[in-house]
Amino acid sequence: MNRLAGLALVAAAIGGGYFWLSSRPAKAPVTISVVRPELSAQALRGETVFQGTCAACHGAELTGTDNGPPLIHIAYRPAMHADYAIVSAIKNGVVAHHWRFGNMPPQPDIAEADIAPLITYIREMQKANGI
């Protein structure tokens, strides 16, 4: 590939990246009606953790707030964000990449023993709501 074609490819990638970033939603959609399933015992335990730690940003019903994105959203389906991605987000935080809420900080107050129940809660709520 000659130098001019290479520069054109880089310019196209930068332009496409800018377009993608500028077209991302600034805020989470919070107008959905959430279906609440009968939760398993593990999910109920996870819900307690979620309400105490995560709901301030992700919403009491996982629909997002002005501070964080919805978890009942196709972007967070298991095929796109597997359980290990949630574990990593809890332990290490996340650099913003889907939304414009800023980076998610690590959540050191969530105990290791509470992570699996928390994920179970999120996944059961997602499944009940078509995610």
pLDDT digits (tens, 9 = 90+) for 86-118: 999 999 999 998 899 999 999 999 999 999 999
Report the b/e string of 27-60 with b at 16+ CB within 10 A: ebeeebeeeeeebeeebebbbebbeebbbebbbe
Give per-residue pLDDT as tens, 28-41.
444 678 999 999 99
Query: What is the model's pLDDT at position 20?
Result: 43
Domain ranges of the chain: 28-128
| pLDDT at residue 4, as a whole number | 54
Long-range contacts of 21-25 (CB under 8 A, 24+ apart): 24/98, 24/99, 24/100, 25/99, 25/100
Is-contact 58 46, C-beta < 8 A? no
pLDDT of residue 13: 47
**Fold entry, domain 28-128:** Cytochrome Bc1 Complex; Chain D, domain 2 (1.10.760)
- Tokens (6 digits) for 55: 């709901």
pTM of the predicted structure, to 2 decimals: 0.77
Q: Model confidence over 3-57: pLDDT tens digits?
A: 654 444 444 444 444 444 444 454 544 467 899 999 999 999 999 999 999 999 9
The pLDDT mean for the chain works out to 84
Looking at per-residue confidence, does 9 or 130 come out higher?
A: 130
